[in-house]
Structure 1
Amino acid sequence: MVTLDPMNQEEFQQYMRYAIKDYAKDKTISGNWSEEEAMDRSEQEFSRLLPKGEKTEFNHLYSIFDKEQLLGMIWIAPESSTNYKEGFIYDFVIWEKYQGQGYGKQAMKEIEMKAKELGMEKIQLHVFGHNQVARGLYEKMGYEITNIKMAKTI
Protein backbone atom coordinates (compact mmCIF):
# COMPACT_ATOMS: atom_id res chain seq x y z
CA MET A 1 0.00 0.00 0.00
CA VAL A 2 1.40 3.35 -1.07
CA THR A 3 1.60 6.26 1.36
CA LEU A 4 2.75 9.85 0.88
CA ASP A 5 4.80 11.42 3.65
CA PRO A 6 6.17 14.96 3.69
CA MET A 7 9.79 14.84 2.50
CA ASN A 8 12.39 15.09 5.20
CA GLN A 9 15.56 17.10 4.52
CA GLU A 10 17.60 14.08 3.39
CA GLU A 11 14.87 12.96 0.97
CA PHE A 12 14.55 16.53 -0.28
CA GLN A 13 18.28 16.74 -1.05
CA GLN A 14 18.13 13.36 -2.83
CA TYR A 15 15.14 14.57 -4.82
CA MET A 16 16.83 17.84 -5.83
CA ARG A 17 19.96 16.04 -7.08
CA TYR A 18 17.80 13.74 -9.20
CA ALA A 19 15.21 16.28 -10.37
CA ILE A 20 17.60 18.93 -11.70
CA LYS A 21 19.43 16.35 -13.83
CA ASP A 22 16.21 14.65 -14.96
CA TYR A 23 14.53 17.92 -15.95
CA ALA A 24 17.61 18.98 -17.91
CA LYS A 25 17.58 15.61 -19.71
CA ASP A 26 13.87 15.85 -20.55
CA LYS A 27 14.21 19.42 -21.83
CA THR A 28 17.13 18.32 -24.02
CA ILE A 29 15.29 15.25 -25.38
CA SER A 30 12.25 17.37 -26.15
CA GLY A 31 14.42 19.83 -28.08
CA ASN A 32 13.72 22.79 -25.79
CA TRP A 33 17.30 23.24 -24.57
CA SER A 34 20.74 22.36 -25.86
CA GLU A 35 22.89 19.93 -23.86
CA GLU A 36 25.34 22.75 -23.14
CA GLU A 37 22.76 24.97 -21.45
CA ALA A 38 20.44 22.35 -19.95
CA MET A 39 21.95 21.93 -16.47
CA ASP A 40 22.29 25.68 -15.87
CA ARG A 41 18.75 26.35 -17.05
CA SER A 42 17.36 23.48 -14.99
CA GLU A 43 19.11 24.79 -11.86
CA GLN A 44 17.70 28.27 -12.57
CA GLU A 45 14.18 26.90 -12.95
CA PHE A 46 14.37 24.98 -9.68
CA SER A 47 15.82 28.06 -7.95
CA ARG A 48 12.84 30.07 -9.17
CA LEU A 49 10.26 27.46 -8.12
CA LEU A 50 11.96 26.42 -4.87
CA PRO A 51 13.74 29.60 -3.72
CA LYS A 52 17.04 28.93 -1.95
CA GLY A 53 16.51 25.22 -2.61
CA GLU A 54 13.98 25.04 0.20
CA LYS A 55 10.45 23.80 0.54
CA THR A 56 7.94 26.61 1.06
CA GLU A 57 4.48 26.79 2.57
CA PHE A 58 2.95 26.64 -0.92
CA ASN A 59 4.97 23.69 -2.20
CA HIS A 60 3.95 20.28 -0.92
CA LEU A 61 6.68 17.72 -1.55
CA TYR A 62 6.02 14.12 -0.63
CA SER A 63 8.07 10.95 -0.54
CA ILE A 64 6.23 7.93 -1.88
CA PHE A 65 6.53 4.80 0.25
CA ASP A 66 5.41 1.20 0.24
CA LYS A 67 5.81 0.27 3.89
CA GLU A 68 9.29 1.67 4.59
CA GLN A 69 10.61 1.40 1.01
CA LEU A 70 11.11 4.75 -0.71
CA LEU A 71 9.58 4.44 -4.20
CA GLY A 72 9.78 8.00 -5.50
CA MET A 73 8.64 11.57 -5.00
CA ILE A 74 5.76 13.88 -5.91
CA TRP A 75 5.46 17.68 -5.73
CA ILE A 76 2.18 19.59 -5.85
CA ALA A 77 1.44 23.26 -5.30
CA PRO A 78 -1.37 25.71 -5.96
CA GLU A 79 -1.47 26.79 -9.62
CA SER A 80 -0.74 30.35 -8.49
CA SER A 81 -0.42 32.40 -5.32
CA THR A 82 -3.96 33.69 -5.88
CA ASN A 83 -5.65 30.45 -6.92
CA TYR A 84 -5.49 27.71 -4.31
CA LYS A 85 -8.38 25.71 -5.78
CA GLU A 86 -6.32 24.55 -8.75
CA GLY A 87 -3.25 22.48 -8.03
CA PHE A 88 -0.32 21.72 -10.29
CA ILE A 89 1.86 18.63 -10.07
CA TYR A 90 5.33 20.01 -10.74
CA ASP A 91 7.07 16.68 -10.60
CA PHE A 92 6.30 13.03 -10.10
CA VAL A 93 8.78 10.20 -10.19
CA ILE A 94 8.68 6.53 -9.36
CA TRP A 95 12.25 5.22 -9.25
CA GLU A 96 12.92 3.08 -12.29
CA LYS A 97 13.20 -0.25 -10.47
CA TYR A 98 9.66 0.21 -9.08
CA GLN A 99 7.99 1.28 -12.32
CA GLY A 100 5.36 -0.94 -13.92
CA GLN A 101 4.20 -2.36 -10.58
CA GLY A 102 1.14 -0.16 -10.00
CA TYR A 103 2.85 2.26 -7.63
CA GLY A 104 2.35 5.23 -9.94
CA LYS A 105 -1.39 4.75 -10.09
CA GLN A 106 -1.60 4.33 -6.31
CA ALA A 107 0.52 7.45 -5.76
CA MET A 108 -1.70 9.48 -8.09
CA LYS A 109 -4.77 8.41 -6.12
CA GLU A 110 -3.04 9.45 -2.90
CA ILE A 111 -2.01 12.87 -4.26
CA GLU A 112 -5.61 13.50 -5.32
CA MET A 113 -6.71 12.92 -1.71
CA LYS A 114 -3.94 15.21 -0.42
CA ALA A 115 -4.99 17.87 -2.94
CA LYS A 116 -8.59 17.71 -1.69
CA GLU A 117 -7.34 18.09 1.89
CA LEU A 118 -5.47 21.23 0.75
CA GLY A 119 -8.71 22.64 -0.69
CA MET A 120 -7.89 21.96 -4.33
CA GLU A 121 -10.72 21.12 -6.70
CA LYS A 122 -8.67 20.52 -9.85
CA ILE A 123 -5.19 19.19 -10.59
CA GLN A 124 -3.14 19.97 -13.67
CA LEU A 125 0.25 18.69 -14.76
CA HIS A 126 2.69 18.82 -17.65
CA VAL A 127 4.01 15.72 -19.35
CA PHE A 128 6.74 15.64 -21.95
CA GLY A 129 5.48 14.33 -25.29
CA HIS A 130 8.23 11.69 -25.43
CA ASN A 131 7.18 10.20 -22.07
CA GLN A 132 4.65 7.66 -23.33
CA VAL A 133 4.56 5.72 -20.05
CA ALA A 134 3.58 8.78 -18.02
CA ARG A 135 1.05 9.89 -20.62
CA GLY A 136 -0.58 6.46 -20.47
CA LEU A 137 -0.77 6.56 -16.67
CA TYR A 138 -2.32 10.03 -16.60
CA GLU A 139 -4.90 9.09 -19.23
CA LYS A 140 -5.85 5.96 -17.25
CA MET A 141 -6.27 8.19 -14.18
CA GLY A 142 -8.76 10.41 -16.04
CA TYR A 143 -6.51 13.33 -16.94
CA GLU A 144 -7.44 14.95 -20.22
CA ILE A 145 -5.26 16.78 -22.71
CA THR A 146 -5.88 20.51 -22.45
CA ASN A 147 -3.10 21.81 -24.73
CA ILE A 148 -0.71 20.33 -27.23
CA LYS A 149 2.44 22.14 -28.27
CA MET A 150 4.13 20.82 -31.39
CA ALA A 151 7.53 21.59 -32.92
CA LYS A 152 9.65 20.62 -35.88
CA THR A 153 13.38 21.12 -36.27
CA ILE A 154 14.14 22.53 -39.73
Structure 2
Amino acid sequence: MSWVEITAPRQRGELLAAAIGRAYRAKAAAERQDVAVPESAAGEIWCTDDGSAAVWAIPREDEVVLADLHTTEQDPAAVWMLLDDLATEAGWTGIWHFSSFSGDAFMTALAESADARRVATKMRVEVAEVPAPAGIRLHPMDDADYAAFRDASDEEYAQERFESGADPTIEAARRTTAEQMLELLPEGLQTPGNRFWTVRDDDDRRAGILWLHLRENLGFIYDIAMDEDRRGQGLGTQTLRAAAEETARAGLDVLALNVFGSNPGARRLYEREGYRITESLWSVPIPRR
Protein backbone atom coordinates (compact mmCIF):
# COMPACT_ATOMS: atom_id res chain seq x y z
CA MET A 1 0.00 0.00 0.00
CA SER A 2 1.33 3.45 -0.89
CA TRP A 3 0.27 7.07 -0.52
CA VAL A 4 -0.57 9.49 -3.32
CA GLU A 5 -0.94 13.26 -2.97
CA ILE A 6 -4.16 14.48 -4.56
CA THR A 7 -3.40 17.58 -6.61
CA ALA A 8 -6.11 17.56 -9.29
CA PRO A 9 -8.12 20.68 -8.38
CA ARG A 10 -11.60 19.17 -8.48
CA GLN A 11 -10.76 15.97 -6.61
CA ARG A 12 -8.61 17.82 -4.08
CA GLY A 13 -11.38 20.34 -3.50
CA GLU A 14 -13.99 17.66 -2.90
CA LEU A 15 -11.77 15.69 -0.50
CA LEU A 16 -10.67 18.83 1.34
CA ALA A 17 -14.27 20.00 1.75
CA ALA A 18 -15.19 16.60 3.20
CA ALA A 19 -12.20 16.70 5.59
CA ILE A 20 -13.02 20.24 6.75
CA GLY A 21 -16.62 19.22 7.33
CA ARG A 22 -15.65 16.22 9.47
CA ALA A 23 -13.14 18.22 11.52
CA TYR A 24 -15.48 21.11 12.25
CA ARG A 25 -18.48 18.90 12.98
CA ALA A 26 -16.40 17.11 15.61
CA LYS A 27 -15.34 20.45 17.07
CA ALA A 28 -18.92 21.76 17.14
CA ALA A 29 -20.18 18.58 18.83
CA ALA A 30 -17.45 18.76 21.49
CA GLU A 31 -18.08 22.45 22.20
CA ARG A 32 -21.87 22.06 21.99
CA GLN A 33 -22.25 25.11 19.81
CA ASP A 34 -22.14 26.15 16.18
CA VAL A 35 -18.62 26.57 14.79
CA ALA A 36 -17.86 28.67 11.73
CA VAL A 37 -16.56 26.43 8.95
CA PRO A 38 -14.07 27.96 6.49
CA GLU A 39 -14.89 27.67 2.80
CA SER A 40 -11.28 26.82 2.02
CA ALA A 41 -8.16 25.96 3.94
CA ALA A 42 -4.48 25.31 3.44
CA GLY A 43 -2.82 21.94 3.50
CA GLU A 44 -2.33 18.80 1.50
CA ILE A 45 -4.62 15.86 0.78
CA TRP A 46 -3.10 12.38 0.65
CA CYS A 47 -4.88 9.09 -0.02
CA THR A 48 -3.76 5.47 -0.02
CA ASP A 49 -3.83 3.84 -3.44
CA ASP A 50 -6.51 1.38 -2.29
CA GLY A 51 -8.75 4.16 -0.99
CA SER A 52 -8.72 2.91 2.60
CA ALA A 53 -7.36 6.11 4.13
CA ALA A 54 -7.31 9.84 3.46
CA VAL A 55 -5.41 12.53 5.34
CA TRP A 56 -5.67 16.30 5.44
CA ALA A 57 -2.23 17.45 6.60
CA ILE A 58 -0.78 20.92 7.07
CA PRO A 59 3.04 20.74 6.90
CA ARG A 60 4.95 23.54 8.60
CA GLU A 61 8.54 24.03 9.66
CA ASP A 62 9.49 21.13 11.96
CA GLU A 63 5.87 19.98 12.36
CA VAL A 64 2.92 18.50 10.52
CA VAL A 65 -0.63 19.15 11.69
CA LEU A 66 -2.84 16.11 11.17
CA ALA A 67 -6.03 18.10 10.59
CA ASP A 68 -8.25 15.17 9.59
CA LEU A 69 -7.88 11.41 9.28
CA HIS A 70 -10.49 9.26 7.55
CA THR A 71 -9.82 5.55 7.41
CA THR A 72 -11.50 2.15 7.36
CA GLU A 73 -8.63 0.72 9.44
CA GLN A 74 -9.67 0.44 13.09
CA ASP A 75 -6.37 -0.74 14.57
CA PRO A 76 -4.59 2.37 15.94
CA ALA A 77 -1.16 0.72 15.71
CA ALA A 78 -1.72 -0.10 12.04
CA VAL A 79 -2.85 3.48 11.39
CA TRP A 80 0.36 4.84 12.92
CA MET A 81 2.38 2.60 10.62
CA LEU A 82 0.48 4.11 7.71
CA LEU A 83 1.17 7.64 8.97
CA ASP A 84 4.88 6.85 9.35
CA ASP A 85 4.90 5.66 5.74
CA LEU A 86 3.12 8.85 4.69
CA ALA A 87 5.69 11.05 6.43
CA THR A 88 8.47 9.18 4.64
CA GLU A 89 6.72 9.45 1.27
CA ALA A 90 6.06 13.17 1.72
CA GLY A 91 9.52 13.92 3.17
CA TRP A 92 8.14 15.35 6.40
CA THR A 93 10.25 15.64 9.54
CA GLY A 94 9.76 16.99 13.04
CA ILE A 95 6.58 16.42 15.02
CA TRP A 96 3.03 15.32 14.31
CA HIS A 97 0.40 17.50 16.03
CA PHE A 98 -3.23 16.42 16.18
CA SER A 99 -6.40 16.74 18.25
CA SER A 100 -8.85 14.33 19.80
CA PHE A 101 -12.24 15.89 20.44
CA SER A 102 -14.52 14.84 23.27
CA GLY A 103 -16.48 11.82 22.12
CA ASP A 104 -13.94 10.75 19.47
CA ALA A 105 -12.81 7.41 20.87
CA PHE A 106 -10.68 6.48 17.86
CA MET A 107 -8.41 9.55 17.96
CA THR A 108 -8.03 9.12 21.72
CA ALA A 109 -7.02 5.49 21.15
CA LEU A 110 -4.64 6.63 18.42
CA ALA A 111 -2.92 8.97 20.86
CA GLU A 112 -2.58 6.18 23.41
CA SER A 113 -1.26 3.74 20.81
CA ALA A 114 1.41 6.19 19.66
CA ASP A 115 2.40 7.06 23.25
CA ALA A 116 1.64 10.65 22.32
CA ARG A 117 2.54 13.55 24.58
CA ARG A 118 -0.41 15.63 25.75
CA VAL A 119 0.43 19.17 24.67
CA ALA A 120 -2.68 20.87 26.00
CA THR A 121 -6.29 20.34 26.97
CA LYS A 122 -9.13 22.70 26.06
CA MET A 123 -11.84 23.02 28.71
CA ARG A 124 -14.97 25.09 29.35
CA VAL A 125 -17.74 25.63 31.87
CA GLU A 126 -21.19 27.20 31.91
CA VAL A 127 -20.76 30.24 34.15
CA ALA A 128 -24.28 29.91 35.56
CA GLU A 129 -23.12 26.69 37.23
CA VAL A 130 -20.14 28.31 38.98
CA PRO A 131 -20.47 29.40 42.64
CA ALA A 132 -19.77 33.00 43.58
CA PRO A 133 -16.19 33.76 44.67
CA ALA A 134 -15.28 34.43 48.29
CA GLY A 135 -12.21 35.69 50.09
CA ILE A 136 -10.56 37.51 47.17
CA ARG A 137 -10.83 40.76 45.23
CA LEU A 138 -9.73 41.67 41.72
CA HIS A 139 -7.72 44.88 41.31
CA PRO A 140 -7.13 46.20 37.77
CA MET A 141 -3.43 46.21 36.86
CA ASP A 142 -1.67 49.52 36.35
CA ASP A 143 1.24 50.00 33.94
CA ALA A 144 3.83 48.84 36.48
CA ASP A 145 1.78 45.76 37.39
CA TYR A 146 1.35 44.91 33.71
CA ALA A 147 5.05 45.29 32.90
CA ALA A 148 6.02 42.99 35.79
CA PHE A 149 3.33 40.51 34.77
CA ARG A 150 4.57 40.35 31.18
CA ASP A 151 8.22 39.94 32.18
CA ALA A 152 7.38 36.89 34.27
CA SER A 153 4.51 35.35 32.31
CA ASP A 154 6.08 35.47 28.84
CA GLU A 155 9.06 33.41 29.94
CA GLU A 156 6.87 31.03 31.93
CA TYR A 157 4.63 30.54 28.90
CA ALA A 158 7.64 29.81 26.69
CA GLN A 159 8.94 27.25 29.19
CA GLU A 160 5.53 25.56 29.33
CA ARG A 161 5.34 25.40 25.53
CA PHE A 162 8.74 23.75 25.39
CA GLU A 163 8.08 21.32 28.26
CA SER A 164 4.71 20.28 26.82
CA GLY A 165 6.14 19.56 23.37
CA ALA A 166 4.36 22.42 21.61
CA ASP A 167 7.74 23.70 20.35
CA PRO A 168 10.88 21.63 19.69
CA THR A 169 13.34 24.01 21.44
CA ILE A 170 13.15 26.72 24.09
CA GLU A 171 14.36 29.23 21.50
CA ALA A 172 11.46 28.31 19.22
CA ALA A 173 9.08 28.54 22.16
CA ARG A 174 10.30 32.06 22.97
CA ARG A 175 9.85 33.12 19.34
CA THR A 176 6.34 31.72 19.29
CA THR A 177 5.54 33.45 22.57
CA ALA A 178 6.74 36.81 21.28
CA GLU A 179 4.72 36.43 18.08
CA GLN A 180 1.57 35.38 19.90
CA MET A 181 1.78 38.15 22.49
CA LEU A 182 2.22 40.76 19.75
CA GLU A 183 -0.82 39.37 17.97
CA LEU A 184 -2.95 39.07 21.10
CA LEU A 185 -1.96 42.35 22.75
CA PRO A 186 -0.99 44.88 20.07
CA GLU A 187 -1.95 47.72 22.43
CA GLY A 188 -0.61 46.10 25.57
CA LEU A 189 -2.64 46.77 28.69
CA GLN A 190 -5.12 48.83 26.64
CA THR A 191 -5.89 46.13 24.06
CA PRO A 192 -9.71 46.03 23.74
CA GLY A 193 -11.53 43.06 25.21
CA ASN A 194 -8.75 42.11 27.64
CA ARG A 195 -8.91 42.48 31.40
CA PHE A 196 -5.86 42.21 33.66
CA TRP A 197 -6.08 42.01 37.43
CA THR A 198 -3.90 41.37 40.43
CA VAL A 199 -5.69 39.13 42.91
CA ARG A 200 -5.79 40.17 46.56
CA ASP A 201 -7.26 38.48 49.60
CA ASP A 202 -9.59 40.09 52.12
CA ASP A 203 -6.56 41.42 54.03
CA ASP A 204 -5.41 43.17 50.82
CA ARG A 205 -2.41 40.85 50.49
CA ARG A 206 -1.43 40.03 46.92
CA ALA A 207 -2.28 36.46 45.90
CA GLY A 208 -1.73 36.25 42.12
CA ILE A 209 -2.87 37.44 38.69
CA LEU A 210 -5.74 36.91 36.25
CA TRP A 211 -5.90 37.71 32.51
CA LEU A 212 -9.36 37.34 30.98
CA HIS A 213 -10.31 37.95 27.35
CA LEU A 214 -13.98 38.72 26.69
CA ARG A 215 -14.90 37.50 23.22
CA GLU A 216 -18.17 37.68 21.29
CA ASN A 217 -19.40 34.30 22.49
CA LEU A 218 -17.38 33.44 25.60
CA GLY A 219 -14.81 34.49 28.16
CA PHE A 220 -11.35 33.00 27.84
CA ILE A 221 -8.71 32.78 30.57
CA TYR A 222 -5.31 33.35 29.03
CA ASP A 223 -3.47 33.33 32.33
CA ILE A 224 -4.29 32.58 35.94
CA ALA A 225 -1.54 32.10 38.49
CA MET A 226 -1.18 32.27 42.22
CA ASP A 227 2.03 33.57 43.78
CA GLU A 228 4.21 30.75 45.03
CA ASP A 229 3.72 31.58 48.70
CA ARG A 230 -0.10 31.74 48.28
CA ARG A 231 -0.63 28.36 46.64
CA GLY A 232 -2.54 25.58 48.34
CA GLN A 233 -4.85 28.02 50.13
CA GLY A 234 -7.88 27.73 47.85
CA LEU A 235 -7.22 31.12 46.28
CA GLY A 236 -6.86 29.68 42.77
CA THR A 237 -10.33 28.17 43.01
CA GLN A 238 -11.79 31.49 44.11
CA THR A 239 -9.99 33.31 41.30
CA LEU A 240 -11.49 30.88 38.78
CA ARG A 241 -14.90 31.68 40.23
CA ALA A 242 -14.18 35.40 39.99
CA ALA A 243 -13.34 34.95 36.30
CA ALA A 244 -16.70 33.23 35.79
CA GLU A 245 -18.42 36.09 37.62
CA GLU A 246 -16.74 38.66 35.35
CA THR A 247 -17.72 36.63 32.29
CA ALA A 248 -21.35 36.54 33.41
CA ARG A 249 -21.22 40.27 34.15
CA ALA A 250 -20.20 40.81 30.51
CA GLY A 251 -23.34 38.95 29.39
CA LEU A 252 -21.54 35.76 28.31
CA ASP A 253 -22.55 32.21 29.19
CA VAL A 254 -19.33 30.23 28.79
CA LEU A 255 -15.82 30.48 30.22
CA ALA A 256 -13.03 28.55 28.50
CA LEU A 257 -9.32 27.95 28.99
CA ASN A 258 -6.43 25.80 27.84
CA VAL A 259 -4.18 23.93 30.24
CA PHE A 260 -0.77 22.59 29.24
CA GLY A 261 -0.26 18.85 29.34
CA SER A 262 2.67 19.38 31.68
CA ASN A 263 0.27 20.67 34.36
CA PRO A 264 -2.10 17.79 35.26
CA GLY A 265 -2.74 19.30 38.69
CA ALA A 266 -4.38 22.34 37.12
CA ARG A 267 -6.48 20.11 34.89
CA ARG A 268 -7.77 18.23 37.92
CA LEU A 269 -8.62 21.53 39.65
CA TYR A 270 -10.63 22.69 36.65
CA GLU A 271 -12.46 19.38 36.46
CA ARG A 272 -13.40 19.66 40.14
CA GLU A 273 -14.79 23.11 39.35
CA GLY A 274 -17.06 21.68 36.66
CA TYR A 275 -14.97 22.34 33.57
CA ARG A 276 -15.38 19.69 30.89
CA ILE A 277 -12.78 18.69 28.33
CA THR A 278 -13.67 19.56 24.74
CA GLU A 279 -10.38 18.85 22.97
CA SER A 280 -6.96 17.36 23.73
CA LEU A 281 -3.92 18.32 21.67
CA TRP A 282 -1.17 15.74 21.13
CA SER A 283 2.33 15.54 19.68
CA VAL A 284 4.30 12.57 18.35
CA PRO A 285 7.83 12.71 16.90
CA ILE A 286 8.04 11.73 13.23
CA PRO A 287 10.58 8.88 12.92
CA ARG A 288 13.64 9.61 10.82
CA ARG A 289 14.19 7.13 8.02
Normalised TM-score (structure 2): 0.50
Secondary structure at the aligned position of 1:127 is classed as strand
Contact 1:59 1:76 in 2 (8 A): yes
Q: Match for residue 224 of structure 2?
A: 92
Contact 2:214 2:247 in 1 (8 A): no
Q: Match for residue 54 of structure 1?
A: 189
Amino acid at match of 2:237: K
Q: Match for residue 207 of structure 2?
A: 71
Aligned length: 150
Q: Give CA-to-partner distance per residue, 1:39-98, whole Å, 9 cap, x none.
A: 22212211111114333231011111113222111111124xxx2x31111111111221
Q: Match for residue 136 of structure 1?
A: 268
Please report how far the alpha carbon of residue 128 of structure 1 lies from its aligned counterpart in structure 2 after TM superposition: 0.5
Amino acid at match of 2:142: N
Amino acid at match of 1:105: T
> Which of 1 and 2 has higher RCO (CA within 8 Å, sep 6+)?
2
Amino acid at match of 1:102: G
Normalised TM-score (structure 1): 0.90
Identity %: 29
Please report how far the alpha carbon of residue 117 of structure 1 lies from its aligned counterpart in structure 2 after TM superposition: 0.8
Unaligned runs of 5+ in 1: none
Contact 2:198 2:206 in 1 (8 A): yes
Contact 1:55 1:61 in 2 (8 A): no
2:283 to 122, 139, 151: 151
1:44 to 154, 171, 179: 179
Q: Which has the larger radius of gyration?
A: 2
Contact 2:214 2:250 in 1 (8 A): no
The structure richer in strand per residue is 2
Contact 2:259 2:267 in 1 (8 A): yes
1:35 to 159, 170, 185: 170
Secondary structure at the aligned position of 2:280 is classed as coil
Q: Match for residue 13 of structure 1?
A: 147
Please report how far the alpha carbon of residue 132 of structure 1 lies from its aligned counterpart in structure 2 after TM superposition: 1.4
